[in-house]
Amino acid sequence: MTSRQGVSGHGRGGTAPAGGAPKHKGLRRARPLTVPGLVCVLAAAALVGGSDASAATDARAADRTPVSAAGQDTWQQTPVQMPWGNLVAVGGDGTPGNTWATGFSLTDDGQATFGAAALRWDGATWIRTPVPVRAAGDVRTFGSRLDSRVAEIAPDDVWAVGDIETDAPGSGTQPLIEHWNGAAWQQTPADVLPAGSEFYGLCALSADDVWAGGLIGDEPGLAHWDGRTWTAVTPRALTGLPSPSYVTSLSASGPGDIWAVGADGLSAHYDGHTWKKVPLPAIGDDEIWLEGVRTDPALGTWAVGYRVGADGVRHPLALHAVSGAWRQVALPDATRTQLEDVAFTSTGPVAFGYVDSSTTVAAYAVTLPTAPGGSGRLVAAPTGASSINGALAGPGGRTVLVVGSGPFGESIFPPFAARSTSRP
C-alpha cells in the first residue's frame, strides 16, 4: 500500500502511534487513514484480514477519548448517511444541494473494503451518492478514496479526485477522477496518466481549466483538464523536493493566481504562465507540512498545517500570502496538534484540525489574525469529534460546516459532521 509518509496529512495524513513521536525523515510514504491515533498498520491489517494489529490499535484508541470544549452549544451535529467511513474534505458554495463532503466508506463484509464516498448536503443531512469506480487494466482493486474537496464550476459541473488501490506491479495506485453532471457521478478515464498517480488537491477555474495535484508517477506533480482530457504536468517548481513531498491542496482566485501546497516544504504559485516555488518562512530547523490552502476574495489566501522538529512533535501552523510571499501568523501554543482547513466567516478566517496525544483526541479550532502582529485565539470546536478534516463557511460566512471523524466506539471509522449554530 503506497502513499503518504506517516506523519500527517490533510485529513488524510497518518499520525504517530498513541503517545509516541511520529516517524518522519527518510520513511516511505505510508497511506494514512485520516483517523487520529490509528497508524497505517491498521489499514494493512484490515486489508489482509489481520486481527492482532487491529486489536492492539483498538486497545490504544480505547484509552483516549475526545475532550469536551467550552461553548459546545455553538455546534450541532448533523446526520451522515454512512455508518462506517471517514469524511476528509468539504467543498462547494455552502448551500443545500451545492455542497459536498468526500472521503471513503468502509464496508462491514469481513474484507474491510474502502470505497470512494461523496455525500451531498441537503440542508439537514449528508446524503450519500453512488460513486462508480473501475480500475484500468486486468488488476484487482483493494479500495478507493476521494481525497480532495470538490471543485464546483456549476451545479452540473463538479469534480472530485482521489485514487484507486490495486495489485498492479509497482505502487499499484491509479488516479481516480470523478465528475458530477447534475444527476450522477461519472468516472473520467485517467489512463493517460502514469501508474503511481494519486490526487489530494483540486481547484477549478472554468469548464476547461481544472487542476488536480498530488503524485504523478509517484513524484510530486499536477494534472490539468482542458475540457477534453487530463494531462500530467510536473513543473520545475515541484522538482528536487524531499522524498515524502506531494501536493495536498490547491486554491485559486483566478487563472493567473493559483496556489499549490503540500508535504515537507512544498509551496508553489502559478501566474497564468509559469509555476514558481514560493519560499516558506524559516522556523529554526523545523519542517513545514501544509495540509490545506484556501483563497477568499476579501481575506486573501491562507495555508494551514503544522511544523515539526527533530523531536517529532507537531505544532499548528498558519500562513497568510501577502504580496506573493508567505507570512507566518501567531497562534496559541499547542503540541501534537495540526490544522487541516480554513473557513472564511464574516468575522475572519477560522482554522480547524485536531489534537492527537496519548491523553487527548479532540477537534481543534482557532481564529487566524488578519492584522500584522495579531494573534489567533482558541474557539469552541465541536464535541464528539476526534478530528476536523474539512471546513466550509455558508453564505455570508454566518455558519460553518465541518466534517471529519467521530469518537472510536462501535465503529473504528465513524464519520462526523456538524454545523455551527453561530459563528465560531
How much is the mean pLDDT over the chain?
Answer: 83
Is the predicted pLDDT of residue 70 greater than 80, yes or no? no
Query: What per-residue confidence (pLDDT) applies to 372?
Result: 85
Report d(CA 82, CA 28) in Å as an integer: 31
| 63 against 266, higher pLDDT | 266
Query: What per-residue confidence (pLDDT) applies to 409?
Result: 61
Under the banding of pLDDT at 50, 70 and 90, the label for residue 358 is confident
Under the banding of pLDDT at 50, 70 and 90, the label for residue 105 is very high
Q: How many other CB atoms are found less than 10 A from the CB of residue 330? A: 12
Report d(CA 238, CA 165) in Å as an integer: 24
Q: Kindly report, residue by residue over 369-408, the tens digit of the pLDDT.
A: 998 889 999 999 999 899 999 999 999 999 999 999 998 6
Is the predicted pLDDT of residue 242 greater than 90, yes or no? no
| 297 against 57, higher pLDDT | 297
3-state secondary structure of 392: strand
Under the banding of pLDDT at 50, 70 and 90, the label for residue 38 is very low
Q: What DSSP assignment string belongs to 306-369?
A: EEE-TT--EEEEEEEEETTEEEE-B----SSEEEEEEEEETTEEEEEEEEE-SS-EEEEEEE--
Query: What per-residue confidence (pLDDT) applies to 168?
Result: 83
What mean pLDDT comes out for the span 274-285?
94
Report d(CA 184, CA 81) in Å as an integer: 17
Q: Kindly report, residue by residue over 153-211, the tens digit of the pLDDT.
A: 999 999 999 999 998 877 789 999 999 999 999 999 988 899 889 999 999 999 999 99
CA quadruple 411, 58, 200, 215: dihedral sign: negative
Report the range of poorest mean pLDDT among 81-85, 144-148, 256-260, 411-415.
Answer: 411-415
CA angle 308, 311, 316 (to 5 degrees): 30
Report d(CA 415, CA 105) in Å as an integer: 9
3-state secondary structure of 121: strand
Rounded to a whole number of angstroms, the distance between the first and last alpha carbons of the chain is 38
Cβ contact 87:78 at 8 Å = no
What mean pLDDT comes out for the span 65-88?
73
Is the predicted pLDDT of residue 27 greater than 60, yes or no? no
**Residue from 1, 7, 11 nearest 289 by CA:** 7
Percentage of the chain lying above the pLDDT 90 cut:
66
Q: Which residues pair with 351 in a beta bridge?
A: 342, 366
Q: Kindly report, residue by residue over 308-343, the tens digit of the pLDDT.
A: 999 999 999 999 999 999 999 999 999 999 999 999
Query: What per-residue confidence (pLDDT) applies to 66?
Result: 36
Query: What per-residue confidence (pLDDT) applies to 319?
Result: 98
Is the predicted pLDDT of residue 350 greater than 60, yes or no? yes
Query: What per-residue confidence (pLDDT) applies to 360?
Result: 83
Query: What per-residue confidence (pLDDT) applies to 419?
Result: 96
Query: What are the cell numbers at 371?
Result: 492584522
Query: What per-residue confidence (pLDDT) applies to 11?
Result: 37
Report d(CA 395, CA 35) in Å as an integer: 29
Under the banding of pLDDT at 50, 70 and 90, the label for residue 31 is very low
Is the predicted pLDDT of residue 58 greater than 80, yes or no? no
**Residue from 376, 363, 382 nearest 422 by CA:** 382
Query: What per-residue confidence (pLDDT) applies to 73?
Result: 58
Under the banding of pLDDT at 50, 70 and 90, the label for residue 108 is low
Is the predicted pLDDT of residue 349 greater than 90, yes or no? yes
Percentage of the chain lying above the pLDDT 70 cut:
80
Of all helices (H) and strands (E), which one includes residue 252?
strand 247-254
